[in-house]
């Protein structure tokens, strides 16, 4: 596929013009990669940090006179087609008829939703690395795009995108994924932004890092993957067993569950692969049987079967996102997107919370997130973690209590409305 992408990009007379939303660590890295790659060009940056985006363009060799800061969309008519544009205004997307694709990299749910809807308004494909958003409203955004004949896609580069690529590949070889997941070296549900502060690089968002540490981001990622491929969590929060090596990984999962008794496919994670996974590994335990399969795969050093481990030691974030952008434009192929309501991330009180409090959302002091099957979240009226930042408590809640819709008052905004529409769609059950 990469050879095909390279060939098609090199054949283009005009580069693919990309609008990037977000100029944080991921967005900035992606912009640098787009400049490096023939056939791709980051023409528009929409960000709150205008000076940072202008400086980034300067450092990449763009003359100052070729960079224009645009606040008002009406000013676009006065700007040359060949200028590089920086803007803080998400509504500008609706006036960018000459760009080819919108790539969203904010990690902010509302900004992501607004970017998606604006890109649909101008009939452009939309690609996102925002799994906080996708795990909450990815299905309804996919449906809206499909109804308009457009494309909504999650991006390669983070663990779900890497796993999606692996799933596409091994299913083409006749393997059935049974457990797909990521490797984690640290997990503390009660971790706070203050607690992770000593470990946060200067160019990273502290709440984002906290969401890694408390497991919320991992649950968002596994919900996105599961809703795209029809995979469920084995239990609330997943098992996350500890193992000592890749060689022991399959046996580790057999020790906590009977894989042979399970007809469906699942998402989970593993703890304890220090020194093996480089802190960023992903894995799939897959099943395959048939004439000669066991003997041949044993000869190929793949194990005794019929369960086989596929493992990747890394994900490279923005370095790999290039492929999702190119595929969206060249072939109109999404890397992956939600196809059903299989699981959700639910909000759990991280500490005792008093009534009247405005919740601080993902990666904050108030909530952590756990993956759960949608039939259970619907039955128990559980609040999705992604809505927590738009919620005010109507009552006090003890630590470790799952938060329900009845316990909160929600804002009226685009995200809340989209989620209400998604909740009307059929539940996907085992």
Q: Give the domain ranges of the chain.
A: 2-157+318-330, 159-312, 343-422
Q: What is the DSSP letter of 161?
A: H
Mean pLDDT on 269-278? 66
Count of beta carbons in the 10 Å neighbourhood of residue 290:
9
Question: 200-225, pLDDT tens digit by residue?
Answer: 887 789 999 999 999 999 999 999 99
Percent over 90 (pLDDT), the chain? 83
SS3 9: helix
Please say whether the beta carbons of 183 and 270 come within 8 A: yes
What is the CATH code of the structural domain delimited by 343-422?
3.90.1210.10
Percent over 70 (pLDDT), the chain? 97
SS3 406: helix
> Phi/psi zone of residue 300: left (φ > 0), alpha (ψ -120 to 50 degrees), beta?
alpha
Quickly state the pLDDT bin for 318 (edges 50, 70, 90). Answer: very high
What are the φ and ψ backbone dihedral angles of 344, each rounded to 5 degrees? -135, 165
pLDDT at 37: 93
Nearest alpha carbon to residue 335 among 41, 134, 45 = 134
pLDDT at 265: 94
Kindly tell me if the per-residue pLDDT of 276 is higher than 60. no
| Positive or negative torsion for Cα 104, 109, 113, 115 | negative
Please say whether the beta carbons of 401 and 349 come within 8 A: yes
Quickly state the pLDDT bin for 356 (edges 50, 70, 90). Answer: very high
pLDDT at 274: 54
Question: 153-163, pLDDT tens digit by residue?
Answer: 999 999 999 99
Quickly state the pLDDT bin for 277 (edges 50, 70, 90). Answer: very low
Q: Does domain 2-157+318-330 have CATH number 3.40.50.720?
A: yes
pLDDT at 246: 84
Q: Which residues contact 222 (CB under 8 A, 6 or more apart)?
A: 160, 181, 182, 233, 238, 267, 268, 269, 343, 371
Please say whether the beta carbons of 412 and 387 come within 8 A: no
pTM: 0.95
pLDDT at 119: 98
**Which token pair is 110?**
């509302």
Taking all residues of the chain, what is their mean pLDDT, rounded to a whole number?
94
Mean pLDDT on 23-47? 96
pLDDT at 273: 60
pLDDT at 279: 57
What is the rounded distance in angstroms from the CA atom of residue 164 to the CA atom of residue 392? Answer: 36
């Amino acid at each position: 596929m990469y050879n095909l992408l390279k060939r098609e990009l090199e054949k283009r007379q005009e580069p693919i013009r990309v609008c990037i939303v977000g100029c944080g660590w991921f967005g900035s890295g992606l912009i640098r990669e787009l400049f490096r790659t023939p056939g791709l060009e980051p023409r528009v940056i929409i960000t709150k940090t205008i000076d940072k985006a202008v400086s980034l363009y300067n450092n990449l060799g763009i003359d100052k006179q070729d960079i224009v800061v645009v606040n008002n969309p009406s000013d676009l008519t006065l700007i040359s087609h060949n200028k590089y544009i920086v803007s803080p205004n998400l509504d500008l997307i609706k006036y960018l008829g000459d760009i080819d694709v919108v790539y969203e990299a904010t990690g902010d749910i509302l900004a992501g939703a607004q970017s998606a809807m604006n890109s649909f308004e101008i009939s452009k494909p939309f690609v996102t690395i925002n799994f906080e958003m996708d795990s909450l409203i990815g299905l309804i955004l996919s449906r809206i795009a499909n109804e308009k004949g457009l494309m909504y896609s999650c991006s390669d580069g983070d663990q779900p995108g890497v796993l999606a690529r692996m799933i596409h590949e091994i299913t083409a070889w006749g393997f059935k994924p049974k457990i797909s997941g990521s490797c984690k070296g640290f997990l503390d549900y009660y971790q706070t932004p203050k607690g992770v502060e000593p470990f946060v690089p200067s160019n990273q968002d502290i709440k984002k890092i906290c969401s890694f540490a408390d497991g919320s981001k991992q649950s968002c990622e596994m919900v996105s993957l599961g809703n795209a491929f029809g995979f469920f969590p084995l239990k609330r929060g997943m098992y996350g067993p500890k193992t000592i090596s890749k060689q022991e990984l399959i046996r580790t999962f057999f020790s906590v569950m009977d894989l042979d008794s399970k007809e469906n496919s699942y998402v989970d994670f593993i703890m304890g692969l220090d020194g093996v996974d480089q802190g960023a590994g992903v894995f799939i335990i897959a099943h395959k049987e048939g004439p000669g399969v066991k003997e041949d795969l044993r000869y190929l050093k793949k194990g005794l079967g019929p369960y086989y481990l596929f493992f990747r030691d890394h994900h490279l974030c923005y370095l790999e996102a290039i492929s999702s952008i190119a595929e969206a434009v060249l072939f109109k192929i999404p890397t992956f997107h939600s196809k059903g309501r299989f699981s959700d991330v639910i909000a759990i009180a991280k500490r005792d919370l008093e009534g009247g409090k405005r919740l601080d959302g993902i990666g904050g002091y108030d909530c952590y997130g756990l993956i759960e099957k949608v039939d259970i979240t619907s039955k128990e009226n559980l609040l999705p973690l992604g809505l927590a930042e738009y919620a005010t408590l109507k009552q006090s809640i003890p630590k470790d209590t799952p938060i329900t819709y009845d316990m909160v008052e929600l804002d009226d905004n685009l995200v809340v409305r989209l989620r209400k529409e998604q909740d009307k769609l059929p539940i996907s059950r085992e």
